[in-house]
């Protein structure tokens, strides 16, 4: 089919409000918007002002009231536990209403915050929807974060209730969540009044009397009592959730998502971008703790009336590199969305793609990759073995949906390897120099989005409008700074090359090296440190820490290395994958004392680098090269 992309993008450029007003017809509103966009509200404007709606109603109730009551809404497939369960939209509603009743009994009302710290169990999605039903604001915290990270989020979000589980399951080990939760609550200064705990048979936990409530027992009681909890109408501009993401310090940024714009944007993407029809089976192989899980495990597919797969497992090792193909064939998945790292892991285990041949993938149409740069090798491997289009697309936690991509629903454009293709309607992209001047096509610079951001993108940061302005809107007035560097070619294709801040992407997980430096620097024997992201064949990037000991420290440095690694795991969590800590005598710096992290990274990656003109002592670069060579890193 000829792509309708140019025509649709043009129609958005001609009249953005009309474009989104038409898209909004796909959502059920209690009250329609009085204004599609009000540029003077909030920090930079607000979408669908005056509208009243409920996200849970649109994800669940309207399908039960319509024709989809008995259609599968959610398929839980957990190769790691052996469990499989399908929930129809009617059963999903029963689960969500019961949990909403439990939350209400624990005092949760519209606007209250609820933290969800869960493994990939279906109850994580029920919890998100139950909050949405009550107009409460959820904040999901990824299970791979440690207690201290959870505590930071508790202090910032001030939740009335936390929903959690007794354990998570990783290949070869069971992670007791409850001690982490208890420790986080202990560390936090804004303690929740209660917790609701899903007891999992793999490792049940002790409960604290009066504070901890049993998920299964409480929801069962609500079902037996026939509790009915109606959807609470909220303003389209009210927050649906807060999702904390790495910023440039250890203090994460609380990205806010509103109700109305979010629904309109996600619903539009399901058909126009991903090319999925209501009733079809869709799979986002991510985790509910990340933005992909929010947008495309829970909300997007359910708003659309599709069936969403909730997968608890890994691309390899649960049990083998054929798991993805088993799920696609068994559940008749039409499209899969995952991170390139998952495919690199599969390719490593099964380079010839032999396991693919064991499965019937006839329903499968498209593979979507995002979360990190998709290297052409991985894309071409997937294309060769799947014989289906493989689509790289680019977005961020902040935007909540694709900024750029090749739209399956509007018809594909030609693929250019290394590019996530073209901007989606809603996004007017430009590339600027560091002093804000527009750059020519093919010139590398700062990628920015002309304000305002489209519906679904963050309206601000939680209780931090000033930080929002400062982090995103100040450096290039009139634009949102993506903090990605790259260029646009003569055909309007974007190329995303690197972050301009200290964020790194490890196995598709977004992490701050600044946050890790704060932890390393806190070690009592360490005077100074630098953490950089170095290239890794499997995970894309890995953090590497370089540290200088305090003078007079005579302890075994190998012991200190181990302690530093353990400290990052304990303070940030295993997800940081921090396993390289290297003692150095000196760190390269500019004459003004700024550590040359970019240059260290280039040395580690074996890339050519220019000795910065402002360097204090160029000999330190040779010292770093020697240390890295000795470790076999470069
Ligand atoms: N709870 C507790 N621990 C977790 C966790 C969770 N939810 N998720 C990951 N971890 C742990 C892992 O067990 C691992 O621990 P280890 O150091 O003891 O081995 C550590 O955190 C690092 O995890 P990860 O970087 O994911 O590495 P891995 O070796 O376990 O798996 C991949 C590598 C590529 C298979 C895996 O990262 C993957 O499937 N990625 C898919 C991409 C994805 O989901 N991206 C999200 C955005 S789309
Ligand atoms: P997150 O907020 O976790 O989704 O991470 C967002 C960041 O991941 C972006 O700012 C990019 O740096 C990177 N990223 C995401 N998708 C892509 C992609 N398709 N190509 C290159 N980088 C990407």
Give per-residue pLDDT as tens, 299-349: 999 999 999 999 999 999 999 999 999 999 999 999 999 999 999 999 999
- Is residue 248 pLDDT above 80, yes or no? no
Within 8 A by CB and 6+ apart from 120, the residues are: 78, 287, 288, 310, 311, 312
Q: How many other β-carbons are positioned within 10 Å of the β-carbon of residue 171?
A: 12
448 CA → ligand 2 middle, Å: 14
Give the domain extent around 225. 5-313+393-486
**What phi-psi label fits residue 444: left (phi over 0), alpha (psi between -120 and 50 degrees) or beta?**
beta
Band of pLDDT at residue 145, cut at 50, 70 and 90:
very high
Domain boundary residue among 456, 486, 516?
Answer: 486
Question: If you take atom 4 of ligand 2, which residue's CA is the nearest one?
Answer: 396
The pLDDT of 428-433, averaged and rounded, is: 98
Distance CA 200, CA 165 (A): 7
Instruction: Give the three-state DSSP class for 461.
Output: strand
Question: If you take atom 13 of ligand 1, which residue's CA is the nearest one?
Answer: 170
Q: Please report whether residue 351 resides in a domain.
A: no
Question: Which residues on neighbouring strands pair with residue 185, listed in sequence order?
Answer: none
Q: Please report whether residue 218 resides in a domain.
A: yes
The pLDDT value recorded for residue 431 is 98
The pLDDT of 78-89, averaged and rounded, is: 98
The pLDDT value recorded for residue 592 is 87
Give per-residue pLDDT as tens, 495-526: 999 999 999 999 999 999 999 999 999 999 99
Tell me which DSSP letter residue 245 carries: E
The pLDDT value recorded for residue 472 is 98
My answer on whether 432 and 533 are in the same domain is: no
Phi, psi of 12 (to 5 degrees): -70, -45
Question: Which residues on neighbouring strands pair with residue 481, listed in sequence order?
Answer: 448
- Is residue 88 pLDDT above 90, yes or no? yes
The pLDDT value recorded for residue 27 is 98
Pocket test for ligand 1, best of 347, 577, 578, 580 (most atoms within 8 A of CB): 577
My answer on whether 103 and 227 are in the same domain is: yes
Distance CA 504, CA 507 (A): 10
My answer on whether 429 and 515 are in the same domain is: no
Closest CA to 383 of 356, 420, 410: 356
For residue 576 the two structure tokens come to 């940081």
575 CA → ligand 1 middle, Å: 6
User: Residue 341 CA: which ligand is closest?
Assistant: 1
My answer on whether 125 and 253 are in the same domain is: yes
My answer on whether 517 and 401 are in the same domain is: no
- Is residue 111 pLDDT above 80, yes or no? yes
Q: Please report whether residue 493 resides in a domain.
A: no
C-beta separation of 265 from 303 below 8 A: no
The pLDDT of 250-273, averaged and rounded, is: 96
Q: Please report whether residue 531 resides in a domain.
A: yes
Domain boundary residue among 457, 486, 515?
Answer: 486
The pLDDT value recorded for residue 499 is 92
My answer on whether 92 and 193 are in the same domain is: yes
Angle at 341 between CA 340 and CA 342, to 5 degrees: 90
Angle at 514 between CA 513 and CA 515, to 5 degrees: 90
CATH number of the domain within which 83 lies: 3.40.50.12780
The pLDDT value recorded for residue 246 is 85
Distance CA 394, CA 413 (A): 16
C-beta separation of 390 from 353 below 8 A: no
C-beta separation of 103 from 161 below 8 A: yes
The helix (run of H) or strand (run of E) holding residue 375 is: none
Pocket test for ligand 1, best of 81, 124, 144, 536 (most atoms within 8 A of CB): 144
Q: What is the DSSP string of 586-597?
A: ---BBTTS-B-H
- Is residue 251 pLDDT above 90, yes or no? no
Question: Which residues on neighbouring strands pair with residue 536, listed in sequence order?
Answer: 540
Q: Please report whether residue 323 resides in a domain.
A: no
Band of pLDDT at residue 631, cut at 50, 70 and 90:
very high
Q: Which residues line ligand 1 (CB under 6 A)?
A: 143-144, 168, 170, 175, 286-287, 290, 292, 314-316, 338-339, 341-342, 345, 371, 506-509, 539, 574-575, 577
Give 307's Cβ-side CA count (13 Å radius). Answer: 22
149 CA → ligand 1 middle, Å: 17
User: Residue 536 CA: which ligand is closest?
Assistant: 1
13 CA → ligand 2 middle, Å: 25
My answer on whether 557 and 457 are in the same domain is: no
From the CB of 404, is ligand 2 less than 6 Å away? no
Q: Please report whether residue 368 resides in a domain.
A: no
Q: Which atom of ligand 2 is nearest to the CA of 369?
A: 19
My answer on whether 72 and 163 are in the same domain is: yes
Quick one: CA dihedral 420, 423, 426, 431, positive or negative? Answer: positive
From the CB of 243, is ligand 2 less than 6 Å away? no
The pLDDT value recorded for residue 222 is 98
Pocket test for ligand 2, best of 416, 449, 484, 539 (most atoms within 8 A of CB): 484
Whose tokens are 């003109």? That residue is 613
My answer on whether 140 and 267 are in the same domain is: yes
From the CB of 575, is ligand 2 less than 6 Å away? no
From the CB of 511, is ligand 2 less than 6 Å away? no
- Is residue 249 pLDDT above 90, yes or no? no
Cα 73 to the chain's mean position, in Å?
Answer: 22
Give per-residue pLDDT as tens, 10-64: 999 999 999 999 999 999 999 999 999 999 999 999 999 999 999 999 999 999 9
Answering whether pTM is above 0.85, one says yes
My answer on whether 51 and 93 are in the same domain is: yes
Instruction: Give the three-state DSSP class for 40.
Output: coil
Domain boundary residue among 430, 451, 486?
Answer: 486
CATH number of the domain within which 607 lies: 3.30.300.30
Q: Please report whether residue 523 resides in a domain.
A: yes
**For residue 406, with 0-12 CB atoms within 10 Å meaning exposed, 13-18 middle and 19 or more buried, which class applies?**
buried
My answer on whether 479 and 511 are in the same domain is: no
The strands making up 366-369's β-sheet, listed across from edge to edge, are: 83-88, 72-78, 307-311, 281-284, 333-338, 366-369, 390-392
Distance CA 147, CA 175 (A): 12
Q: Please report whether residue 259 resides in a domain.
A: yes
Angle at 348 between CA 347 and CA 349, to 5 degrees: 90
The pLDDT value recorded for residue 247 is 75
Q: What integer best gives the mean pLDDT of the chain?
A: 97
509 CA → ligand 1 middle, Å: 8
Q: Considering its fold, how many domains does the chain have in total? A: 2
Question: If you take atom 43 of ligand 1, which residue's CA is the nearest one?
Answer: 286
My answer on whether 439 and 550 are in the same domain is: no
For residue 595 the two structure tokens come to 């550590």
233 CA → ligand 2 middle, Å: 34
């Amino acid at each position: 089919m000829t792509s309708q992309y140019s025509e649709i993008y043009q129609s958005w450029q001609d009249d953005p409000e009309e474009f989104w007003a038409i898209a909004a017809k796909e959502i059920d509103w209690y009250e329609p918007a009085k204004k599609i966009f009000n540029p003077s509200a909030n920090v930079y404007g607000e979408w669908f002002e005056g509208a009243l709606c409920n996200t849970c109603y649109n994800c669940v109730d309207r399908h039960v009231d319509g024709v989809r009551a008995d259609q599968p809404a959610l398929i839980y497939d957990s190769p790691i536990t052996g469990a499989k369960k399908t929930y129809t939209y009617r059963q999903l509603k029963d689960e969500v209403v019961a949990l909403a009743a439990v939350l209400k009994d624990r005092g949760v009302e519209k606007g209250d915050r609820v933290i969800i710290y869960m493994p990939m169990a279906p109850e994580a999605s029920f919890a998100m929807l139950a909050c949405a039903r009550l107009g409460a604001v959820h904040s999901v915290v990824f299970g791979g974060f440690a207690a201290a990270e959870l505590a930071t989020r508790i202090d910032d979000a001030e939740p009335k209730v936390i929903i959690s589980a007794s354990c998570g399951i990783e290949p070869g080990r069971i992670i007791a969540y409850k001690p982490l939760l208890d420790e986080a609550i202990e560390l936090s200064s804004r303690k929740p009044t209660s917790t609701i705990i899903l007891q999992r048979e793999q490792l049940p936990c002790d409960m604290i009397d009066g504070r901890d409530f049993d998920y299964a027992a409480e929801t069962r009681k609500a079902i037996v009592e026939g509790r009915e909890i109606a959807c609470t109408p909220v303003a389209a501009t009210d927050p649906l959730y807060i999702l904390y993401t790495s910023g440039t310090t250890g203090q994460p940024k609380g990205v806010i998502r509103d109700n109305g714009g979010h629904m309109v944007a996600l619903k539009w993407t399901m058909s126009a971008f991903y090319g999925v029809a209501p009733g079809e089976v869709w799979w986002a192989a991510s985790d509910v703790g990340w933005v992909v899980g929010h947008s495309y495990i829970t909300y997007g597919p359910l708003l659309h009336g599709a069936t969403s797969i909730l997968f608890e497992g890994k691309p390899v090792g649960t049990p083998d590199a054929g798991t993805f193909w088993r799920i696609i064939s068994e559940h008749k998945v039409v499209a899969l969305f995952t991170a390139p790292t998952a495919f690199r892991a599969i390719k490593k285990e099964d380079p010839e793609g032999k396991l693919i041949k064991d499965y019937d993938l006839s329903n499968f149409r498209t593979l979507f990759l995002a979360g990190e740069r998709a290297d052409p090798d991985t894309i071409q491997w997937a294309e060769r073995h799947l014989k289906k289009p493989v689509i790289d697309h680019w977005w961020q936690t902040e935007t909540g949906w694709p900024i750029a991509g090749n739209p399956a629903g509007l018809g594909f454009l030609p693929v250019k390897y290394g590019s996530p293709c073209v901007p989606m309607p809603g996004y007017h992209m430009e590339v600027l120099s560091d002093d804000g001047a527009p750059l020519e096509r093919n010139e590398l610079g700062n990628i920015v989005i002309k304000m305002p951001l489209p519906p679904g993108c963050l309206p601000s940061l939680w209780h931090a409008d000033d930080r929002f302005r400062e982090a995103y809107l100040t450096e290039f007035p009139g634009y949102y700074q993506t903090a990605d560097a790259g260029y646009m070619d003569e055909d309007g294709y974007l190329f995303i090359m690197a972050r301009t801040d200290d964020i790194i992407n490890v196995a598709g997980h977004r992490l701050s090296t600044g946050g890790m430096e704060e932890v390393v620097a806190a070690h009592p024997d360490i005077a100074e440190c630098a953490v950089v992201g170095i290239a890794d064949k499997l995970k894309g990037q890995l953090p590497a820490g370089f540290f200088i000991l305090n003078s007079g420290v005579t302890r075994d440095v190998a012991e200190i290395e181990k302690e530093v690694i353990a400290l990052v795991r304990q303070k940030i969590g295993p997800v940081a994958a921090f396993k390289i800590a290297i003692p150095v005598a000196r760190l390269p710096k500019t004459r003004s004392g700024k550590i040359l992290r970019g240059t260290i990274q280039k040395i580690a990656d074996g890339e050519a680098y220019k000795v910065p003109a402002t360097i204090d002592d160029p000999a330190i670069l040779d010292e770093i090269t020697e240390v890295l060579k000795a470790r076999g890193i470069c």
